[in-house]
């Protein structure tokens, strides 16, 4: 049976480097399930692989969309499975990497048969967003589904709107709705997670934000100001700097908020992954050697 090796872990932990090293070891290709790296205009703020890294192993689903394009987890499931089928024709192993938990879940377990967006619900929720702000949506979801609230990216309004809409339509929490996997895949899946002490994770995040700023993140965000209302840009690293550009915050405070919100997202990732039972954890200091040792036993 063909094997999909999925690399998971918090933001900034070193998933890209491990994925490339494994792809080179197996002479194979990489599928990205990082939903922020799909967009060609968002490079620095999403920690997209560099041109040199992309040249080391073939990558798919990186920079393939514009920030103005509509995209969904459902579309990603269909397109990534089609790409996997193509790649498995010539490869026994394919690598998948990314910290977007629901996108990974869609590939390895399938999505539940969730209802389409309800127009009336979407109108109500968008009205709340516009008149009361994203904080009201966050509180609403926390009351309706505290478990999902702990893991969802609460800075992403699309995620909040979708979850609340599903809850209203089904009468069940979003957690209940996505709990059951719907399909059996025709490939084997091995999940490898990179772990580190929380203080290391947080320090890496803080350092990475500083490097992003040095590499021109502010200029990247300024160039995207015309598109700032697009859903893709309502994410950490961009929303904070738009507030600086709009003179709501000073630059020092905006940078501190990027670091804080990135650490919060890492905490949500940790909460999600802790509940998963089939992740094989390797240490951040020696991830390749530990991964190869694991894979020798599992494959």
- Tell me: do 68 and 186 sit in the same domain: yes
CA 267, distance to chain mean position in Å, is 13
- Tell me: do 38 and 163 sit in the same domain: no
Name the maximum alpha-carbon separation found in the chain. Answer: 56
- Tell me: do 207 and 262 sit in the same domain: yes
DSSP class of 94: E
CA 84/CA 30 separation, integer angstroms: 10
- Tell me: do 123 and 13 sit in the same domain: no
- Tell me: do 169 and 239 sit in the same domain: no
Binding-site residues for substrate sit at 11-16
- Tell me: do 160 and 265 sit in the same domain: no
Give the CATH number, domain containing residue 216: 3.40.50.300
Please give the sequence-ordered ranges of beta strands (E in DSSP) within 175-298, or none if there are none: 188-195, 279-283
- Tell me: do 175 and 186 sit in the same domain: no
- Tell me: do 229 and 162 sit in the same domain: no
CA 270/CA 264 separation, integer angstroms: 10
Could you count the other beta carbons within 10 Å of the beta carbon of residue 130? 8
- Tell me: do 104 and 143 sit in the same domain: no
- Tell me: do 88 and 228 sit in the same domain: yes
pLDDT at 181: 63
Could you count the other beta carbons within 10 Å of the beta carbon of residue 186? 11
Number of compact structural domains in the chain: 2
Give the CATH number, domain containing residue 168: 1.10.20.140
- Tell me: do 173 and 184 sit in the same domain: no
Question: Structure pTM?
Answer: 0.89
**Residues facing residue 65 across a β-bridge:** 39
CA 221/CA 145 separation, integer angstroms: 33
Helix (H, G, I), strand (E, B) or coil at 216: coil
Token readout for 22 is 């494994």
CA 122/CA 252 separation, integer angstroms: 35
- Cα end-to-end span (Å), the chain: 10
pLDDT in 10s for each residue of the chain, 299 residues: 899 999 999 999 999 999 999 999 999 999 999 999 999 999 999 999 999 999 999 999 999 999 999 888 889 999 999 999 999 999 999 999 999 999 999 999 888 777 888 999 999 999 999 899 899 999 999 999 999 999 888 888 888 999 999 999 999 999 888 876 667 899 999 999 999 999 999 999 999 999 999 999 999 999 999 999 888 999 999 999 999 999 999 999 999 999 999 999 999 999 999 888 899 999 999 999 999 999 999 99
- Tell me: do 39 and 128 sit in the same domain: no
Binding-site residues sit at 9-16
Last residue of a domain, one of 179, 205, 230: 179
Residue 38 · residue 68 · CB < 8 Å? no
Binding-site residues for ATP sit at 9-16
Last residue of a domain, one of 129, 148, 179: 179
Residue 53: which domain range? 3-112+180-298
Quick one: 179 exposed, middle or buried, by C-beta within 10 A (0-12, 13-18, 19+)?
A: exposed
Last residue of a domain, one of 179, 200, 221: 179
């Amino acid at each position: 049976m063909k094997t999909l090796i999925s690399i998971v872990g918090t933001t900034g932990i070193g998933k890209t480097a491990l994925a490339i090293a494994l792809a080179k070891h197996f002479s194979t290709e990489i599928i990205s399930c990082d939903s922020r790296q799909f967009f060609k205009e968002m490079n620095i703020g999403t920690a997209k692989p560099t041109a040199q890294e992309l040249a080391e192993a073939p990558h798919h689903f990186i920079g393939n969309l514009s920030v103005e394009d509509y995209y969904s987890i459902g579309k990603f499931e269909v397109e990534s499975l089609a790409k996997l089928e193509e790649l498995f024709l010539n490869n026994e192993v394919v690598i998948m990497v990314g910290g977007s938990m629901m996108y990974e879940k869609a590939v390895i377990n399938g999505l539940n048969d969730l209802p389409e967006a309800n127009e009336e619900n979407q109108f109500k929720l968008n009205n709340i967003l516009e008149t009361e702000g994203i904080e009201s949506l966050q509180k609403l979801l926390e009351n309706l589904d505290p478990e999902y609230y702990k893991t969802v990216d609460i800075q992403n309004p699309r995620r909040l709107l979708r979850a609340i809409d599903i809850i209203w339509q089904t009468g069940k929490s979003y957690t209940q709705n996505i709990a059951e996997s719907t399909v059996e895949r025709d490939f084997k899946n091995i999940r490898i997670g990179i772990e580190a002490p929380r203080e290391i994770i947080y320090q890496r995040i803080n350092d990475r934000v500083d490097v992003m700023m040095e590499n021109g993140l502010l200029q990247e965000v300024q160039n995207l100001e015309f598109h700032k209302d697009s859903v893709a840009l309502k994410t950490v690293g961009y929303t904070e700097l738009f507030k600086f550009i709009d003179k709501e915050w000073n630059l020092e405070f905006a940078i501190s908020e990027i670091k804080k919100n990135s650490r919060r997202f890492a905490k949500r990732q940790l909460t999600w992954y802790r509940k998963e039972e089939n992740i094989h954890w390797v240490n951040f200091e020696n991830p390749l050697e530990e991964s190869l040792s694991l894979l020798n036993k599992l494959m």
